[in-house]
Structure 1
């Protein structure tokens, strides 16, 4: 193959792709009650942040595979994925690098997300801490949210019935805010959790990969992380 780009290229492009959901987040008035047209910002953040993650995962895997000596045809086949979640990205990296199971970082990893309030509550001030396995499960749930939005099964800016997944066991409703009559809502806080999960998981897996492969460290300082 021709000269292979540095893996930092994938991070830099991911940073560019996250500029839009970052700006959308800042547009929200953050007031209690009906947000009006601003309610469309939460589903837009989910759609754009997950799309940015998917582009990053594909590009990072392609560059890493090229660094490992794969040719164009092999790389193209390797990075062919449908809606890659955090678990998908992890599986592909383990396949490529032959990672051992149960690495230390998996046990040490933790991150915080907004904890959806119970039905009838009016605040999102609490957070919960996720382990690595819980992070992967939450990412699966948010991918189901994205699926429902992109296929027009819901609108995402009001309480709705969110359909279950066609495959797998993680429900979109499992990461959303419960409402009356079996409905769930997305809201800005949920969208922030979604973007935060995918962004931090992307960094964790990528940093672990370059460390294991003894490649140059990645610089994430310019990449928005949607900190809570």
Structure 2
């Protein structure tokens, strides 16, 4: 017995894998001052989101190539990736579906927190796909440093230089005095929004090339600011 392989299943699995990062964000009090043990939540969110994104990239691309009629051997060669970034997802998809470039040219941006200078307050800004791809590379460096135990991520620390490529953690992390940098909750939320938006833009463009539509309603929003509950 065979079962249909559809792109929407990849999106649904992506949403499921983001459930834990979403709940971790909801645990944070989002109050001024030292967050105490809640400071361990941002690095956990970053690791969870990027891990979910990596799984989605491999799953989605394999499914898209299957729908294109590729054999298992061809698919295996094309989806063999090590820690894919948003930029690599774009390039891999563009190689197989050249039409997505035109579809993405006027794609909407995504709102994230900026990276303020030392002592400055962060502000919300909107970044386009090109800038999103660059920042996602920076977040992948953050992921490498966390995964390899070079930093703990829960406090301000001195982070090492790039482990791969040229992107640096300083391009996405909030600077602190003494050459230190910190993730913070707003950094983790920006990381999540960057990866979710990049995944959605690119996947929607590929789906359009395959004459299908995707629903993203199951994915969490990772709102920039805390929701206000009436009466509180």
TM-score range, shorter chain: over 0.9
What's the CA shift for 1:108? 4.0
Q: Deviations over 1:148-187 (max 9, x none)?
A: 1001011001111111113322101110101011111110
Task: Please say if 1:129 is aligned against 2:123.
Answer: no
Report the Cα distance in structure 2 between the residues aligned to 1:104 and 1:11, rounded to whole angstroms. 20
Report the Cα distance in structure 2 between the residues aligned to 1:184 and 1:173, rounded to whole angstroms. 7
SS at the partner of 2:105?
Answer: helix
Alignment partner, residue 144 of structure 1 = 141
Report the Cα distance in structure 1 between the residues aligned to 2:4 and 2:107, rounded to whole angstroms. 32
Report the Cα distance in structure 2 between the residues aligned to 1:4 and 1:164, rounded to whole angstroms. 45
Contact 2:114/2:125, CA 8 A, preserved across alignment: yes
Report the Cα distance in structure 2 between the residues aligned to 1:131 and 1:183, rounded to whole angstroms. 28
What's the CA shift for 1:104? 4.9
Counterpart among 154, 159, 164 of residue 157 in structure 1:
154
What's the CA shift for 1:97? 1.6
Contact 2:100/2:209, CA 8 A, preserved across alignment: no
Report the Cα distance in structure 2 between the residues aligned to 1:35 and 1:75, rounded to whole angstroms. 45
Task: Please say if 1:192 is aligned against 2:180.
Answer: no
What residue ranges of structure 2 are gaps of 5+ in the alignment? 225-232
Alignment partner, residue 110 of structure 2 = 111
TM-score by length of 2: 0.92
What residue ranges of structure 1 are gaps of 5+ in the alignment? none
Task: Please say if 1:35 is aligned against 2:35.
Answer: yes
Task: Please say if 1:182 is aligned against 2:182.
Answer: no
Alignment partner, residue 203 of structure 2 = 206
Counterpart among 213, 217, 221 of residue 217 in structure 1:
213
RMSD of the TM alignment (CA)? 1.4
Contact 2:204/2:213, CA 8 A, preserved across alignment: yes
Report the Cα distance in structure 2 between the residues aligned to 1:184 and 1:63, rounded to whole angstroms. 39
1:73–1:104 Cα change, 3 Å: closer
Report the Cα distance in structure 1 between the residues aligned to 2:115 and 2:35, rounded to whole angstroms. 18
Alignment partner, residue 226 of structure 1 = 222
Contact 2:103/2:205, CA 8 A, preserved across alignment: no
What's the CA shift for 1:100? 6.5
